[in-house]
């Protein structure tokens, strides 16, 4: 009898998890009411990260912002992540009317492609990571009191229209958005996550990853769906589906394969021992 090997055939196909899809309409976005869990402490560590898949849109589109419902000056804004489709990505904070902004070089914000973005503060230095690489110029934020506007909302996919801002509305998909208050999740270049983000310690918000629009953190916040944001199966993670049983040997011998059987089975698949 030919030598048998233990293992499984893993088919690669489709995606794992979910995202939300926004159409660029000014009134379509997700929102969370003001909450201290979403407000970084002075000299405190925090992380805002997500995956984005922009399909077009304006010159600047809001991915996530913490700001007043009406913005007339920088003092109405806490922090933000924006994308300029086809060009650059930016993230930063405001302290009173002083802006601390980090922008990537042109070319980082490709469209119709999943991009991982992380805006991270250690409490002394704020960095912006795109696909795991630090971009732009990190900002010194020691002693910087990030605004916590009185009527703030955490908005996904919308930055408001008024005299201060011409409006930034997101077109495309956003997946696995997480805000962590108290931890700088990344402090150097890293490999972006290959699976859905987890509810790690200090997670305040974890959303845009489930079949419904919910917060998967330990103390879930209420997320309001404004103007019918939809859930999509488009996601940044590849699905791996195991086939543990060898059909040639039957259900009584799962995971046993001869080399010829394995070669036949792994056409367009990968072998996992």
Q: What is the residue-wise DSSP string for 102-141?
A: EEPPTTS--SSS-EEEEEEE-SSEEEEEETTEEEEEEEE-
Q: Where do runs of H (alpha helix) occur along the chain?
A: 259-265
Statement: residue 199 has pLDDT above 90: yes
The more confidently predicted of residues 171 and 108 is: 171
Statement: residue 14 has pLDDT above 80: no
Q: In the structure, what pLDDT confidence band is assigned to residue 107 with cuts at 50, 70 and 90?
A: confident
For β-strands 19-23 and 133-140, DSSP reports them as unpaired
Q: What is the mean pLDDT of residues 170-192?
A: 97
Of 64-73, 150-159, 208-217, the poorest mean pLDDT is in 64-73
What local confidence, expressed as pLDDT, does residue 12 receive?
Answer: 52
What local confidence, expressed as pLDDT, does residue 81 receive?
Answer: 96
How many degrees, rounded to 5, is the angle at CA 181 between CA 30 and CA 70? 40
The alpha carbon dihedral of 65, 70, 72, 77 has a sign of negative
What local confidence, expressed as pLDDT, does residue 69 receive?
Answer: 80
For β-strands 29-33 and 152-156, DSSP reports them as antiparallel
Statement: residue 241 has pLDDT above 50: yes
Statement: residue 271 has pLDDT above 50: no
What is the value of pTM for the model shown?
Answer: 0.84
What local confidence, expressed as pLDDT, does residue 168 receive?
Answer: 76
Q: What is the mean pLDDT of residues 157-170?
A: 66
What local confidence, expressed as pLDDT, does residue 255 receive?
Answer: 56
Nearest Cα to Cα of residue 121 among 149, 88, 84, 93? 93
Q: What is the DSSP string of 237-268?
A: EEEEEEE-B-TTT-TTSBTEEEHHHHHHHTTT
Q: In the structure, what pLDDT confidence band is assigned to residue 272 with cuts at 50, 70 and 90?
A: very low
How many degrees, rounded to 5, is the angle at CA 158 between CA 232 and CA 180? 75
Q: In the structure, what pLDDT confidence band is assigned to residue 259 with cuts at 50, 70 and 90?
A: low
Residue range 28-45, pLDDT digits in tens? 999 999 999 999 999 999
**How far is Cα 138 from Cα 18, in angstroms, rounded to an integer?**
31
Phi, psi for 38 (deg, rounded to 5): -105, 10
What local confidence, expressed as pLDDT, does residue 150 receive?
Answer: 93
How many degrees, rounded to 5, is the angle at CA 10 between CA 265 and CA 263? 25
The alpha carbon dihedral of 264, 234, 85, 127 has a sign of negative
The more confidently predicted of residues 128 and 105 is: 128
CB 228 within 8 A of CB 28: yes
**How far is Cα 259 from Cα 208, in angstroms, rounded to an integer?**
42
Statement: residue 3 has pLDDT above 70: no
């Amino acid at each position: 009898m030919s030598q048998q090997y233990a293992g499984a055939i893993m088919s690669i196909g489709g995606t794992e998890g979910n995202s939300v899809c926004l159409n660029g309409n000014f009134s379509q976005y997700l929102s969370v009411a003001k909450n201290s869990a979403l407000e970084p402490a002075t000299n405190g560590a925090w992380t805002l990260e997500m995956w984005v898949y922009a399909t077009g849109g304006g010159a600047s589109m809001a991915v996530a912002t913490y700001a007043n419902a009406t913005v007339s000056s920088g003092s109405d804004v806490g922090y933000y992540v924006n994308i300029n489709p086809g060009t650059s990505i930016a993230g930063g904070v405001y302290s009173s009317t002083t802006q601390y902004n980090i922008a990537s070089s042109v070319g980082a914000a490709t469209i119709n492609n999943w991009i991982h973005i992380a805006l991270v503060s250690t409490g002394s230095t704020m960095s912006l990571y795109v696909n795991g690489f630090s971009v732009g110029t990190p900002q010194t934020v020691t002693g910087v009191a990030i605004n916590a506007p009185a009527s703030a909302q955490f908005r996904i996919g919308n930055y408001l229209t008024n005299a201060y801002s011409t409006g930034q509305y997101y077109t495309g998909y956003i997946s696995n958005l997480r805000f962590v208050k108290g931890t700088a999740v990344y402090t150097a270049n890293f490999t972006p996550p290959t699976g859905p983000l987890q509810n790690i310690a200090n997670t305040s918000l974890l959303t845009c990853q489930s079949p419904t629009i919910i917060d998967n953190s330990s103390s879930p916040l209420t997320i309001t769906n404004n103007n019918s944001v939809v859930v999509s199966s488009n996601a940044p993670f590849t699905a791996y589906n195991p086939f543990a049983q060898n059909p040639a040997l039957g259900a009584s011998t799962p995971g046993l394969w001869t080399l010829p059987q394995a070669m036949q089975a792994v056409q367009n698949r990968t072998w996992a021992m």
